[in-house]
């Protein structure tokens, strides 16, 4: 009887062990679904901006407001953060916890600099009188670029929390899944920014 009970307990633990990776895969799949909804949201904002970017209501337009040199610096910083995020994943796959945390910290720092530059750009525009309510163009601009900036900010908070968790728990199936997901999220934001840079800034200054 005791032998049978022991086998049932062992089987229960074995089943939990084998079901755990499936649960992590389901959570990763759920994040892919979330990204699909984000793509639709950004697609809507891009379409709105393209339709409204000439509606300046007699106020300043893209060519009057955008300073391409600063945006190029911001783009370089964000793309570099995507590279360092990739290095973090490589460290994860090699089981190097300290290197993983280090590269995540560098990625977060670069992301914070990017957000700082974006806030400075917004503040300068507002100081020039180019507020969100000034025209349909500015409403669409702030909504699109601001939504991307909000996503980057969320990613930064998420990344910092993950670094704390890695410091405490180390590399586990759960933290490994979270690192892969934050990496996917960060690369997604870089791709969105490339479209923002092209559609909003490059096309705007022509």
Average pLDDT over every residue of 177-187 = 95
Tens of pLDDT along 117-134? 999 999 999 998 899 999
**Structural domain contains residue 6:** no
Residues contacting 92, CB < 8 A, separation 6+? 100, 171, 176, 179, 180
pLDDT, residue 21, reads 52
Average pLDDT over every residue of 9-33 = 61
| Residues 130, 162: Cα–Cα separation, whole Å | 37
* Domain around 95: 23-202
Spatial CA neighbour of 45 closest among 137, 112, 119, 144: 144
- For the entire predicted model, the pTM comes to 0.85
Higher local confidence (pLDDT), 59 or 179: 179
**Structural domain contains residue 15:** no
Q: What is the DSSP string of 152-188?
A: HHHHHHHHHHHHHHHHHH-S-HHHHHHHHHHHHHHHH
**Structural domain contains residue 7:** no
**Structural domain contains residue 106:** yes
Check which CATH number belongs to the domain holding 78 and give it. Answer: 1.20.120.80
The number of folded domains in the chain is: 1
**Structural domain contains residue 42:** yes
Most trustworthy range by pLDDT among 22-36, 48-62, 78-92: 78-92
Burial 100-130 (b: 16+ CB within 10 A, else e): bbbbbebbbebbbbbbebbeebbeebeeeeb
Q: Please check the confidence at residue 37 and state whether its pLDDT lies above 70.
A: yes
**Structural domain contains residue 67:** yes
Higher local confidence (pLDDT), 130 or 204: 130
Q: Please check the confidence at residue 177 and state whether its pLDDT lies above 80.
A: yes
**Structural domain contains residue 17:** no
Spatial CA neighbour of 110 closest among 154, 71, 156: 156
**Structural domain contains residue 124:** yes
């Amino acid at each position: 009887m005791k032998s049978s009970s022991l086998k049932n307990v062992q089987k229960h633990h074995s089943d939990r062990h084998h079901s755990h990776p499936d649960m992590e895969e389901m959570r990763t799949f759920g994040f892919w679904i979330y990204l699909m909804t984000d793509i639709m949201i950004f697609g809507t904002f891009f379409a709105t901006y393209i339709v409204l970017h000439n509606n300046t209501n007699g106020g300043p337009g893209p060519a009057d407001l955008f300073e391409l040199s600063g945006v190029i610096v911001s783009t370089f910083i964000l793309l570099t953060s995507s590279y360092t995020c990739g290095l973090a994943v490589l460290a994860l796959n090699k089981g190097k916890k300290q290197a993983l945390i280090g590269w995540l910290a560098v990625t977060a720092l670069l992301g914070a600099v990017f957000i700082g530059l974006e806030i400075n750009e917004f503040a300068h525009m507002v100081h020039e009188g180019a507020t969100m309510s000034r025209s349909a163009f500015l409403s669409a601009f702030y909504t699109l670029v601001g939504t991307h900036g909000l996503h980057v900010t969320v990613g930064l908070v998420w990344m910092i929390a993950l670094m704390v968790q890695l410091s405490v728990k180390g590399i586990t199936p759960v933290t490994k899944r979270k690192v892969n997901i934050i990496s996917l999220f960060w690369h997604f934001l870089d791709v969105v920014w490339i479209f923002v840079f092209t559609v909003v800034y490059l096309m705007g200054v022509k």
